[in-house]
Structure 1
């Protein structure tokens, strides 16, 4: 039974987004955001649920994630997100894209460039190296790359991560906006087809592309990104890979099995795709025996 938050006070509608949002305050005066899955003319979307599952995957991976809960409000299902800016009592919180465009001269030029592949990745990380807060966030930023490849996140543009400015300095925010992942548009028929066909699963994984937290509209191949960061951010990369090696698949399986909101096809898919992607990433970097 999902918690009903229909009686919570609405205090706003959130910033401009592809998803419908409402800002809410609970009876305990805690601030939240609720996001509703998109309505498409054709096909399905269960990105509110994939937001929840991605948050658990990130927690198992050892990352600081935004708190997520599936709830209902006025008869509609959505994901309820706790406001971490209020939680940290941050003096200011700003999206990466806003900070980069203000502090790095070539940011706009990069977004409009015709570069592709490794050249684009290299240009993107040259921008990041110029970023005034790069040293403070480098470890978490590299962790985020591995996490996004693991879940197949299609939308980690630079406005989908934040810095929190605290009394003690700048801090990478909990990771949020992870719902465009894990096959969020696949209906049960498609999920069953994928699970029963290892070649399809492999094709789906091999063609993974990501925005790397740097590119607004461009994407790069996940395998190319792994190759680049393994060579250029060796220490951070090895730390992230170790987290992937130690990823607790039993805890993950128990979590998926506990979600009554999922169909059997969705459960089978999720129990298959995450271990499959984890194995493929390790194979790509020559650690396929782990």
Structure 2
């Protein structure tokens, strides 16, 4: 168990060279080049929303994606390397940087790696308004003859690892595992499941601190953080609850794989620790309390349903 309680460091990317905009997704983001290593990192800024009182507030998509990457590490789930980032120009902008899931050889062209998104792998392509073909069975079929990511648990296949992605989604309340938020890396010699990426839609990132505080203090059982967590749904066909998706995925694994992922969830105290190491200027006290209660609730419900 880690005993380090110090705040995580932020990386100043102000002077990092730009390597072009990223076209996928709805939020503006751009690729940067690490000035020392030449590695490609995707810069994603924190976004803003308007509260019910008309005030503007910064959402938590930056800290949510960062914490999710640390929870993934705690579970042993292959995931993109994410760091907190800050850019200081005319104004200070907060965000995260996410390292490309392609290896350096695949990025340089030495092994000609291509990131093929899930929608290009499904037997029935989907669209935001038509996800009837986006099912657990369809994803499992799409991952046939696919190797697991680099760094996967020994003996695991691609589907076994993807089931771990869905367990991660369940714990953090990630509602955005749609058909373009997972991928396979294809080279002339193999196809390999990419590490999990893009976890910003997690941990109640989008609500204001005012609403978090109301939910933390309420006596109304229908308005608590735990109730909020129970309402989270997946973009799979018919919008099942996240816990049902994780449960269904684990049902399609061997007992050994199922127990591996459930055992990884047992030390919930360690899994919530990253929440409390995000710098104070990035995440408020009520956001931490809300995120911890959400994660603990989801973990308990997963055990209740699967074990």
TM (norm. structure 1) is 0.81
Give 1:259's aligned residue. Answer: 278
What is the distance in 1 between the residues matched to 2:190 and 2:211?
47
Q: Residue 79 of structure 1: CA displacement?
A: 0.6
Over the residues paired in the alignment, what is the CA RMSD in angstroms? 2.8
Give 2:235's aligned residue. Answer: 211
TM (norm. structure 2) is 0.77
Find the residue that maps to 2:211 and give its secondary structure.
helix
List runs of 5+ in structure 2 lacking aligned partners: 1-8, 52-56, 148-157
Which moves more between the two structures, 91-100 or 13-22? 91-100
Q: Residue 219 of structure 1: CA displacement?
A: 2.1
Q: How is 1:181-196 mapped onto 2 (pairs within 5 angstroms)?
A: 181-196=202-217
CA separation of 1:185 and 1:170: change in aligned 2, threshold 3 A: same
Q: 1:112 aligns with which of 130, 142, 150?
A: 130
What is the distance in 2 between the residues matched to 1:222 and 1:251?
18
Q: Deviation string for 1:224-261 (max 9, x for gaps)?
A: 3244334433434333222222x3523632x3322223
Question: Residues 148 and 210 of structure 1 are in contact (CA less than 8 Å); yes or no, is this contact kept in structure 2?
Answer: no
Q: 1:56 aligns with which of 70, 85, 99?
A: 70
Q: 2:32 aligns with which of 24, 30, 34?
A: 24
Find the residue that maps to 1:78 and give its secondary structure.
strand
Q: Residue 31 of structure 1: CA displacement?
A: 1.5
Q: Deviation string for 1:127-167 (max 9, x for gaps)?
A: 23432636641111111111101111111111111212357
Question: Residues 163 and 246 of structure 2 are in contact (CA less than 8 Å); yes or no, is this contact kept in structure 1?
Answer: no
Q: Residue 49 of structure 1: CA displacement?
A: 1.1
List runs of 5+ in structure 1 lacking aligned partners: none
Aligned residues: 270
Question: Residues 229 and 237 of structure 1 are in contact (CA less than 8 Å); yes or no, is this contact kept in structure 2?
Answer: no
Find the residue that maps to 2:19 and give its secondary structure.
strand
Give 1 or 2: higher helix fraction: 1
What is the distance in 2 between the residues matched to 1:56 and 1:88?
26
Give 2:23's aligned residue. Answer: 15
Q: Residue 62 of structure 1: CA displacement?
A: 0.9
Q: Deviation string for 1:256-288 (max 9, x for gaps)?
A: 322223211122222322122211211122x4x
1:39 aligns with 2:59: no
- Structure 1 stretches of 4+ moved >4 Å: 41-44, 108-111
What is the distance in 1 between the residues matched to 2:296 and 2:226?
12
